[in-house]
Chain A
Amino acid sequence: MKIIRRAYLALFALYLIGPIVIIIAVSFNSKRFLAFPPRGFSFRWYAEIFVANDWFSSLMNSLFIAFASATLAVLIATPIAYCAWRFGLRYAKALFALGIAPFILPPVILALAFLLFFSSVGMHGWMLNVIIGHAIFLLALPLVTISLGLESVDRSLIEASQSMGADNATVFRTVILPIAAPFAFAGFAFCFVLSLNEYIIALMTVGFTVETLPIKIFNALRYGYTPVIASIAVLFLLINIAVFSLIAKFSNLSRILGAMD
């Protein structure tokens, strides 16, 4: 039984990590063409991300869009989650359900919807489009994490605070915010990472005017290889791991993922 278990775990890990290992090997390859097993060792393809103007500006575009859309998503989600939880407003609950929907739909449908909408109102290829697009697409994440955070606030704490003379704003600032903030941060971080990696909505909203990294990589894939893509893949994986480690450290990861506390 133990042997079967070990073998299965080893195979599973190999399947999951194997492709990543190959990418890492390729990213440190010193030659222009892709090779595995790698020949030589160099950081040249990592330097390229920051030196080559077009790669670097794409990276900056992506980081800016990710930051702005994650912020926007948290700003939209907070009042909805708060009113649904604190006052049990039916309207807020309906808005909550509506806000979850974009994340469940196949993203290409949403991307097409944005394309139709922005072109019909004359916002052709503004960077704002992709920021709004990602915020709406990923709205479900802060909605869910903030609600989880709010649910972990014991309502008797609010009553205790009120009994000592706190009004609604003070209760929010002194009781609810400190408890729910880590969960809001987790929602922000999830949005940030997924926006950074998102392709189709970015393509259909700003594909011809702003190059995000996923768009640039896809274009590069069509016209030929470069090991820079491998180094970007490694960089992105590291960013992802760093962000999720932060969530795990400052928030309750298994609770967010729906496990028992």
Chain B
Amino acid sequence: MQTAPLSRYLSLVPSSVMVGVFFAIPFVMILLTSVSTPAEDVDYRYAFDLQHFERFLTWFYIERALFSAGLCALIALISLLIAFPFTYLLTTFGPRTQTSWLIYILAQLSLSEVLIAFSWQILLSRTSGIGNIIAWIGITEKSFSMSPSAGAVVAALVYLAVPFSVLLLFPALSRLDKSLLEASRTLGASPLRTFFTVVIPVTRPAIISSGVTVFVLTLGAIIVPQVLGRPEHWTLSVLITDQAIFNFNMPFASALAVVLLVLSASVIVLVTRYAGGAKS
């Protein structure tokens, strides 16, 4: 032993402090605040009071939670359907083309949700968007605006989710043993049939975990539902922001955050248990 084990632990102290103080403690504070109780002199004090969760259990908030889950499930499904064939084709491209595409996909994926929302707002606007182009071509008499609407929210959220889906599917598809596809072809399966009987079943675990990840990512979207949707399209994340920043109701915001956390975690657990468990 050249190094005493203690010094190994010492080198971890600064990182431990950072992660402990700035992640573990704030995280616990959410849990505590969600069950806090209103107080006279301060905003709230820690207790075990479930009134904020009781407030959540009204139809308005339950409906919001169900809407969020349904919307994000839909987005995950659509974005996987769009991204899977592309990612499959991407792995067959030459290394240069592949790298260029990956760089672009990463660049778009990192682009601020604010900017994505802005560009879709323009795209769907009356004066400078698709409506304008359609009118310009002559399909309709006058240009028209397509947002705010549920369609606009879905289109922009899918746009946010597709690059993530591509990158999440990429490892499994690029590791997919190409000789399996060739074997399938020599056994008489057409390319399309090979895609459905080999490519999809073999990569099924990756498809499922990508779907779950995209679902959770989309649950975090805040700006698109506000900018491109009406209040009835707001998701839990938007409501949390609204409660925290504009209503200064930290306990209720925390309770909603706990609900969001439980929702994400249970979807992850359920889907990986029941869909991923089938493989030996």
Among A53-61, A90-98, A149-157, A173-181, which stretch is in contact with chain B? A90-98
Contact of B19 with A112 in the complex, beta carbons under 8 Å:
no
Residues in B whose Cβ lies below 8 Å from that of A72: 18
The size of the chain B interface, using a CB distance under 8 A, is 85
A186 to B3: give the CA distance in the assembly, Å: 30
B147 at the interface (CB under 8 A from A): no
B153 sits at the interface (CB 8 A): no
B271 interface residue, CB < 8 Å from A? no
Q: Which residue of B lies closest to A220 (CB)?
A: B118
> CB-defined interface of B123-154 with A at 8 Å, one 1/0 digit per residue?
10101110011001000000000000000000
Q: A111-B241, A217-B115 are in contact. List 17 more A-B contacts (CB 8 A).
A: A15-B82, A16-B104, A16-B159, A22-B119, A23-B119, A95-B16, A99-B15, A112-B30, A112-B250, A116-B33, A136-B22, A199-B114, A203-B241, A240-B106, A240-B111, A244-B110, A254-B102
Could you say which residues of chain A place their CB within 8 Å of the CB of B26? 110, 113-114, 116-117
Give B contacts to A, CB under 8 Å: 2-3, 5, 8-9, 11-12, 14-16, 18-19, 22-27, 29-30, 33, 82, 85-86, 89, 91, 98-99, 102-108, 110-123, 125, 127-129, 132-133, 136, 159, 162-163, 167, 170-171, 174-175, 191-192, 216-217, 219-220, 222-223, 227, 237, 240-241, 244-245, 250, 253-254, 257, 260-261, 264
CA distance A23 to B112 in the complex (A): 14
What chain A residues lie within 8 Å of B102 (beta carbons)?
A: 244, 248, 253-254, 257
Contact assessment for B114 and A221 in the assembled complex, using a CB-CB cutoff below 8 Å:
yes
B253 and A112: CB pair below 8 A?
yes
Q: Is A159 an interface residue (CB 8 A)?
A: no
A3 located at the interface, meaning its Cβ lies under 8 Å from any Cβ of chain B in the complex: no
Q: Is the interface of A mostly helix, strand, loop or mixed?
A: helix
Contact B19 A37 (CB under 8 A): no
Partner of A236, one of B22, B25, B104, B111: B111
Which chain A residues lie closer than 8 Å to B128 at the CB level?
Answer: 22, 26, 34-36
Q: Which B residues are CB-close (under 8 A) to A182?
A: none
Query: Chain B at the A interface: mostly helix, strand, loop or mixed?
Result: helix
Whether B240 contacts A244 by the Cβ 8 Å rule is no
Contacts of A88-141 to chain B: CB distance below 8 A: 89, 91-92, 95, 98-99, 101-102, 104-117, 120, 132-133, 135-136, 139
Shortest CB-to-CB span from A27 to chain B, Å, is 10
The chain A residue sitting closest to B168, CB to CB, is A258
Interface size on A, residues (CB 8 A): 89
- Asked if A108 and B120 make an inter-chain contact with CB atoms under 8 angstroms apart, the answer reads no
A-B CB proximity, top 8 nearest: A258-B171, A36-B128, A113-B26, A106-B220, A240-B107, A197-B112, A117-B26, A259-B174
Given contacts A102-B23, A253-B99, whether A91 and B12 have CB atoms under 8 Å apart is yes
Q: Which residues of A contact B118 (CB under 8 A)?
A: 23, 217, 221, 229-230, 233
Q: Are A98 and B24 neighbours in the complex by a CB distance under 8 Å?
A: yes
Cβ of B110 and Cβ of A258 under 8 Å apart?
no
Shortest Cβ gap from B93 to chain A (Å): 10
- Asked if A19 is at the interface (CB within 8 A of a chain B CB), the reply is yes
B9, B122, B133 pick with most chain A CB within 10 angstroms: B122
Q: Mark A189-202, 1 if CB is under 8 A from B, else 0.
A: 00001101111100
Taking a contact as CB atoms under 8 Å apart, the answer to whether B171 and A34 are in contact is no
Q: Does A250 contact B (CB under 8 A)?
A: no
- Across-interface contacts of A99 in B (CB, < 8 A): 15, 19, 23
The interface residues of chain B lying within 8 Å CB-to-CB of A92 are 12
On whether the beta carbons of A76 and B14 are closer than 8 Å, the reply is: yes
Which one, B12, B167, B171, B240, contacts A83 given CB within 8 A? B12
